[in-house]
Amino acid sequence: MSNRRHQNVMRGVLLAFCLGLGLCAGLPGAALACNELQPCPVKGGSYLVQTPASWDGKSKLPVIVFFHGAFSTARDTMYSLDITGSAANAGALLVAADGASKNWAFPGKRNDTQRDDFAYAAAVLDDVEQRFPIDKSKILATGFSVGGSMVWYLACVMGGRFTAFAPVAGAYWEPLPDDCPSGPVALRHIHGLADKTVPMKGRSLRNGQFKQGDVLESFRRLRVRNGCPEEPDREEVMGMMTCRTWAAKSCASRKEAVLCLHPEDHYVNGQWVEDGFRWMAGLAKARAEK
């Protein structure tokens, strides 16, 4: 563990301990400090954050905002060395969003918490931009399972707040949106062909009260919205993953769309988060060079 990482963790442990005992009033910076263990409070909830070990405390930071799966938390995200390690390798600020009651709310899914998760996501971004110097040309939204579905809806409703989107194993729910206020967005989706939790064709939940949407139809609607042709520009096989890419140059919107499929079940790999970040960074670099 690096010195900076060790210092951040120890500071979080100290703050968590003294907050639990009600002794933090005299601790310098306690009201403002937040990190991997100490939540950053925002309207409607909180989030956790990890700075890259190599950060000099001044340079602008690219950002990865991760939306966890159902029955999980921001703390679980930070406990995942797979996810945190990938963000560290990318040199990015990792923002672990925290779903109310360990879940996310969006159209088509019952909101048991009554929290507006789009307003929450906006509050998290606003707070992150106040706390850290952010490179606004490199802000990635990614997430797993129902968190992946949340990312799809953020791409539909809040596309302007992020540079790109990289959902994993989650898509729109029924009824799929016919129109998205955000317009075209750059999005890279990963899904397992043998996924039983979020099947490619979707599935009904709670005796038919809700239905996960068809993954390929979700992606088709994105492709049409982006003004991309029916056939991809290229298909690449990387290990067990096959990725089909509709390149920005071929889409009327100049927004790239990528669909990556693997033969396995429902899971997320931290490497995919890093791959999504580097894909986004490549898009940002290409735009800057024009």
Residue 2 has pLDDT above 60, yes or no: no
Residue 168 and residue 148 in contact, taking contact as beta carbons nearer than 8 Å? yes
What's the pLDDT at 92? 98
- Structure-model confidence comparison of residues 149 and 287, the more confident one: 149
The whole-chain average pLDDT of the chain stands at: 90
Residue 8 has pLDDT above 60, yes or no: no
Q: Write the burial class of residue 244 (CB in 10 Å: 0-12 exposed, 13-18 middle, 19+ buried).
A: middle
What's the pLDDT at 175? 95
184/205 Cα distance (integer angstroms) = 30
What are the residue ranges spanned by the domains of the chain?
1-36, 39-289
DSSP code of 271? H
Cα–Cα distances (Å) from 228 to 59, 111, 200, in that order, read 36, 33, 21
Task: Look at residues 80, 162, 89 and name the one whose alpha carbon lies nearest to residue 128.
Answer: 162
Q: What does the pLDDT look like over 234-284, one tens digit per residue?
A: 999 999 999 999 999 999 999 999 999 999 999 999 999 999 999 999 998
Interior angle at CA 172, CA 167 and CA 174, nearest 5: 165
Residue 149 and residue 106 in contact, taking contact as beta carbons nearer than 8 Å? yes
Share of the chain above pLDDT 90, in %: 82
Q: What does the pLDDT look like over 148-179, one tens digit per residue?
A: 999 999 999 999 999 999 999 999 999 999 89
Q: In 21-109, which ranges are E strands?
A: 40-42, 45-50, 61-67, 93-97
Residue 232 has pLDDT above 50, yes or no: yes
223/203 Cα distance (integer angstroms) = 23
What's the pLDDT at 58? 94
**Domain 39-289 bears CATH identifier 3.40.50.1820:** yes
DSSP code of 101? G
Q: Write the burial class of residue 130 (CB in 10 Å: 0-12 exposed, 13-18 middle, 19+ buried).
A: exposed
Query: With helix as H, strand as E and coil as C, how does 229-255 read?
Result: CCCCCEEEEECCEEEEEECHHHCCCCC
DSSP code of 227? T
Q: Which two tokens stand for residue 35?
A: 């990190």
Residue 28 has pLDDT above 60, yes or no: no
Q: What does the pLDDT look like over 183-231, one tens digit per residue?
A: 999 999 999 999 999 999 999 998 888 999 999 999 999 999 999 999 9
